[in-house]
Structure 1
Amino acid sequence: MERLGGDGVLGTVDADRSDPAYRAWLKDAVRKVQADANRSADTHLLRYPLPEQWGIDLYLKDESTHPTGSLKHRLARSLFLYGLCNGWIRPDRPVIEASSGSTAVSEAYFAQLIGVPFIAVMPRTTSREKTRLIEFHGGRCHLVEDPRTVYEVSAALAADSGGHYMDQFTYAERATDWRGNNNIAESIYTQLRMERYPEPAWIVATAGTGGTSATIARYVRYMQLDTRVCVADPENSCFFEGWTTGDPGASSDHGSRIEGIGRPRMEPSFVPGAIDRMMKVPDAASVAAVRALERAIGRKAGGSTGTGLWSALKIVSEMVGEGRTGSVVSLICDAGDRYLDKYYSDRWLAEQGLDIEPYSAAIDVLLATGALPD
């Protein structure tokens, strides 16, 4: 029987979804995905050292400690539960995803967990370590030259194989329960409960799908909190332009150098109306910030962490200048060992024409004086 499924993919579907064998498989698959969350401890909230006299605390939610090493583990778990409960993910049929790497690593993990094939459609520039991790978890990588084609290629592969195109860029904001249920926002506020400023002045996120910023911003409003949400956007991304101009058709002709964030189009899961502020962050500043993070706390992180940290430090400098106290929270999105050949490589920086020294010096000045140079 051929029909257009709920995920918009034309393929063969079972005529009877109440088939006992399928329902038994579905129950077991959902149990396995939920069990993963049940046995995983929450991620840590780390402090970034700032001068005590400022009266400002800067925290980093370390999402790199998830089983698959990134913030995207939460998203992949939600997407798999969403797809399973909608009847879109079926036994023995592949799950296909368009990704810049980290989501695909996490989805490969969950696909292997429930025993379905997985194909990741990614730009050819994706870090080698990410492709290795996808394959380690049993997935297959389908690389494309033009990052803007990942959507169409993924949909075509799903149609040809009778599989399910997960489409994180459409479903990220709706698959996650933003009201609570141990989402990232609820976790942040729970962990801040005993701190001196338990309700942060700002939470800084970055946007790939936009799902994390939408979850945090919606939760803040739902809980009637005064926290503001800022989204930091890298070069070669259209989110900042689309947010500032109100243009849902904003686009970029180039892919982002900061893997995992920044998109060439306004993604359906990016919710501009929920966001209080956006900052455009130079890629060199992102790399400078992530290297400053290693000097400060001894941890390597990915470039998207640096994008958010640069914006968080800028907010801290504004608070110092205005004489305000409080807390600011940003995210460690993934670990830096995936990017040793990029953000931690001086050769890569030279090839990209990125000079991080002015931004590194600016961070040093900020930490010494509280002021971020223009």
Structure 2
Amino acid sequence: MGMVAGEASGDLLASLLLQGLAQQNVAVKAFGIGGERMQQEGFEAQWPSERLAVHGYSWEVLKRVAGLLSIRKELGSQLLHSKPDVFVGVDAPDFNLGLEKRLRDAGLPTVHFVCPSIWAWRPERVHTIRAAVDHVLCLFPFEPALLQSHGIAASFVGHPLANAIPLHTDMQAARSAIGLLPDAPVLALLPGSRSKEIDYLLPRFLQAAAALRAQNPGLQLVLPSVAAQVPRVTRLLQAHGMQAHVRLLPGQSHLALQACDVTLIASGTATLEAALFKKPMVISYAMHPISALLMRRKQLQPWVGLPNILLREMAVPELLQDAATPAALAEAVQQWLDASQSRSVLWQQLQQKLQGLHQSLQANTAEISAHAIQTLVAR
């Protein structure tokens, strides 16, 4: 099986899919582009998933376009030569859909795992999906009907994270594992896994965290990071004088979310992980101003954070671009810290909403995915 997963979120989802297929006794030899988690499941990575990570829109990635196109062309030739039973592209639609079309045109079955967010922005992409993909494995319950209305075969497989993360988790066990004090509040900082995300967001997060520490002297700070970004994160911690106050956790985002009271977090898959851990959060994002303008013009929803999109309401605050000042971020986090400590009505209502969201995303992902892939291969 050929596979391509971009960035940390795709690596996580693909590793869970590989685990699930193995649990279904489906013998899989997988190769292509992937990360550390996939490799732990026996995946053979010709290129690391970080090579696909980009930030922004249009010209910001022009410097890397030639390299990405070269990788896609070379991998496509390898796949056409080796002729795997199926190709599974995990997210990364800008990279994968073009590769999938080439493979499908040559007669190889193609599966796309994670429906591109045509319900949130870029709805015209549905035509590209129809031309490139034999079957889409959808994470959210409403997506198959949308795709099927455009002539695209699709299945709701549940979200692997909804099965991997228990409905109820032990905060104190996580704090003990990290070495945190059991009773002092904990704020998790998750500025994203891409280099540009870290550059744009982490300085603001650290300034907000410094202000929050002044207001809450016992506040404990944790910052998970993918291994490839630890040097960059460390440099920024040093530059802001926060290295002694922030516990850096390489590759331990779930432990950080399990341990925290509140998270200050970049928009993306990590916000769904935070929701599944039932954590109050402040969602933020920032990028080049012109990139933000272009993306905003294509945006179909009034929300950008996955928890808000899925709940169809502004359940947690979103502070984006110019609104994401350190002072505003600190103020929004402080409100959640107060609510978490007092277990206020607001906090209890959020817990109920996130519990319902978690349950709505649960399904036997391994069985449904394995069946869809095996059916496609057999056909």
Whether the TM-score (by the shorter chain) exceeds 0.5 is no
Q: Whose helix fraction is larger, Structure 1's or Structure 2's?
A: 2
TM-score band w.r.t. shorter chain: 0.3 to 0.5
